[in-house]
Structure 1
């Protein structure tokens, strides 16, 4: 994974953002192995969905959850892509064990 440390991307208050498998990290932030695992899971999700559909589904699911929950932070944490990444970020072997499209197992749970 390519990692770019900079002052502009992501916006202030955010540690990093994964854009098409390139990780942009806010200058001054420290990334742990758990953080890298989390982002690597997102990269796997992006690849299997051919990148653009990943972003479309991610935003659409966030909007639906935002309407239902009325809380942007809670909506973010229950997006199926995030749930898979958070649930497995501590497992360094997860990507070798992961089944394709695994994020959709928790779509409506």
Structure 2
């Protein structure tokens, strides 16, 4: 995964953003192996969904979760893509054994 450290993307207050498999990290932020693994899981999700559908599904699910929880942070953490990444970010071998479309395994649980 290509990593670009800069002072523009992401906006202030955010550490990083993964856009089409390129990780933009805010200058001065420290990224751990766990952080990089989390973003690598997102990159795998993007690739299997051919990138653009990943973002469409991500936003649509966030909107549904926002209605469900009425809390933007809870909605974000409940997105299936985020649940898979957070649940497995500490496992550095996860991507070698990951099954395709695994983020949808627990979609509405």
Q: How big is each residue's C-alpha offset from its partner over 1:63-88, in whole Å with a ceiling of 9 and x where there is no partner?
A: 00001111000000000000000000
Q: 2:68 & 2:47 partners in 1: Cα distance? A: 29
For 1:5-44, what aligned pairs fall within 5 Å after superposition? Answer: 5-44=5-44
Q: 1:77 & 1:106 partners in 2: Cα distance? A: 13
Shift in Å, 1:7:
0.5
Q: 2:12 & 2:74 partners in 1: Cα distance? A: 20
Asked if 1:101 corresponds to 2:101, the answer is yes
Question: What residue is the counterpart of 1:74 in the other structure?
Answer: 74
SS at the partner of 1:4? strand
Q: How many residues align?
A: 109
Q: How big is each residue's C-alpha offset from its partner over 1:29-56, in whole Å with a ceiling of 9 and x where there is no partner?
A: 0000000000000000000000000000
TM-score (norm 2): 0.99
Shift in Å, 1:106:
1.2
- Deviation above 3 Å: which 4+ runs of structure 1? none
Task: Structure 1 unaligned segments of length 5 or more: list them.
Answer: none
Task: Structure 2 unaligned segments of length 5 or more: list them.
Answer: none
TM-score (norm 1): 0.99
